[in-house]
Amino acid sequence: TPIALSLDDHTLAALDRQIELHRQGRSRADIIAEILAAWAASPEHAAEPDEGLRPDELNASNDS
């Protein structure tokens, strides 16, 4: 899915330095996709959100 992203000059320069030092031949889009994938896979983002009790689990004893 295409995503439009705007970066300030400082951030873009840091990204370009990272590519030059460690990932030559890779595009900015590839590197940004890698960064986002790593962020999304981190434990705090990979956990399923707590959606509470299911309707069949609700009863008067768990009313708050």
Radius of gyration of the chain (CA): 21
What pLDDT tens digit does each residue of the chain (64 aa) get?
888 999 999 999 999 999 999 888 999 999 999 999 999 888 777 667 777 888 888 888 877 6
What pLDDT was estimated at residue 64? 65
C-beta of residue 26 within 8 angstroms of C-beta of residue 16: no
C-beta of residue 58 within 8 angstroms of C-beta of residue 42: no
Ordered DSSP codes for 21-36: HH-TT--HHHHHHHHH
CA–CA dist 50, 9 (Å, integer) = 38
C-beta of residue 20 within 8 angstroms of C-beta of residue 31: no
What pLDDT was estimated at residue 7? 95
